[in-house]
Structure 1
Amino acid sequence: MDVALRQAAEAAKGFMPPEEGLALHAAAAELPGGGLICEIGTYCGKSTLYLAAAARLVGAAVVTVDHHRGSEENQSGWEYHDTTLVDPRTGRLDTLPTLRTTLEAAGVEDVVTVVVGRSEIVGRWWSTPIDLLFLDGGHTEKQAQADYEAWARHVRPGGRLVIHDVFPDPADGGQAPYHVLLRAVRDGFSEMSRTGSLRVLRRLF
């Protein structure tokens, strides 16, 4: 991975450990030239930079989708709430300005397109086949399943589905991404690799 982009990714706000970020990058770097990478759940752009670095290598494009109001665990009173991301005018979380700064500073705006909106709504009108789909949006059962339903059908046969925060043991974390993994396997995805909580699958048909 490009050294400067790796340093930028590791320094960016977010929750992805470096080894998982590198595994995400490696999965995207295997794509055919000119492919499309779609990320659901941008936050402040940490994982986006790993994907952007891979896109540069293979001539792909990255589209990242988020409403930028934060997931449930990012809200006030929850464990992952960051007061520096609260808009003082509205009192609401707004990660979009930080994302803009992250992408601009890293110089990846030429390969990353930001879509601001709820993933399940954007997914209704989306029509372009996806070569790699990275699911890392809301982690409630309802939202995780909604993200999968809206986007997994767009992954082309042979394409990749990457799911973050997969914890089979409830003692390690929430179960929603794990349930999405089980559903994906039933739907024709085959698991290829595991790195920490990151799972890489391939669509068989």
Structure 2
Amino acid sequence: MDLDLLSAAVAAEGFMPEDEGRALARAALDAPDGPILEVGSYLGKSTLYLAAAARARGGKVVTVDHHRGSEEHQVGWEYHEPGLVDPAVGLIDTLPGFRRTIAAARAEDVVVAVVARAEEFAALWSAPLAFLFLDGSHTDESAQRDLGSWAPHLAVGGILAIHDVFPDPADGGQAPYRIYRQALDTGEFTEIPGQGSLRLLRRDRFAPEDA
């Protein structure tokens, strides 16, 4: 993979531990042919890990984020950063920081950034995905929405990656864990080795009603 992009990913601001980021990149590199798509990019740290794989594959990574921040980024919440608030509108805006991250890493040739709500973009998407990374807002409602709108686009043989999966509530929020369990319980996926809170599931088939 592109070592410069991996180094840039390690140095970038964000919440992806290095061991999980490298595991994410390896899984994307080993996925079958087809598009790589990320739901939830924040300031672009995980995007760079995926970009390192995409460049090695001779492809691109598509990332979709509304860039208004997740619940935990809003005023009064744990991960709020006042510097990310656009004073003109009084709302979080992570897009300028995301663009700086991607440009500084010279990854604009492999990153296709879509500014939209994930479920709205999913309704417009038609190509089968080789790799799907879910790392958006961690409320139950939004996590369920991301899984429900994007998992149907994942091809047989494709990889579903879910971040921040913590079986023990003491370690973190439970919404990603619940969609991870939900995906497994469909019988459509087989778990393959992940890393830390990063879970990786390979799609083996579609349920009969979705075939």
Kindly report structure 1 stretches of 4+ aligned residues shifted beyond 4 Å: none
1:105 aligned partner, one-letter code: A
Q: 2:78 aligns to what?
A: 79
Taking only the aligned residue pairs, the percentage that are identical comes to: 59
Please state whether the residue corresponding to 2:91 is helix, strand or coil.
coil
Would the aligned equivalents of 2:2 and 2:55 in 1 still touch at CA under 8 Å?
no
CA distance in 1, matches of 2:78, 2:23: 26
Q: 1:20 aligns to what?
A: 20
Q: 1:196 aligns to what?
A: 196
- Gaps in structure 1 of 5+ consecutive residues: none
* Alignment of structure 1 residues 52-91 onto 2, 5 Å: 52-91=51-90
So what's the TM-score if we normalise by structure 2? 0.94
Q: What root-mean-square deviation, in Å, do the aligned CA atoms of Structure 1 and Structure 2 show?
A: 1.0
CA distance in 2, matches of 1:5, 1:156: 27
Q: CA deviation at 1:194?
A: 2.5
So what's the TM-score if we normalise by structure 1? 0.96
Q: 1:169 aligns to what?
A: 168
CA distance in 1, matches of 2:51, 2:5: 9
Once structures 1 and 2 are overlaid, which stretch shifts more, 78-87 or 143-152? 78-87
Q: In the TM superposition, what whole-angstrom CA distance separates every residue of 1:44-89 from its partner, at most 9, and x where no partner exists?
A: 1000000000011111221000000000001111111112211121
Query: How many residues are treated as equivalent by the alignment?
Result: 204
Q: CA deviation at 1:109?
A: 1.1
Q: CA deviation at 1:176?
A: 0.5
Q: CA deviation at 1:111?
A: 1.0
CA distance in 1, matches of 2:4, 2:85: 28
1:112 aligned partner, one-letter code: V
- Gaps in structure 2 of 5+ consecutive residues: 206-211
CA distance in 1, matches of 2:29, 2:204: 19
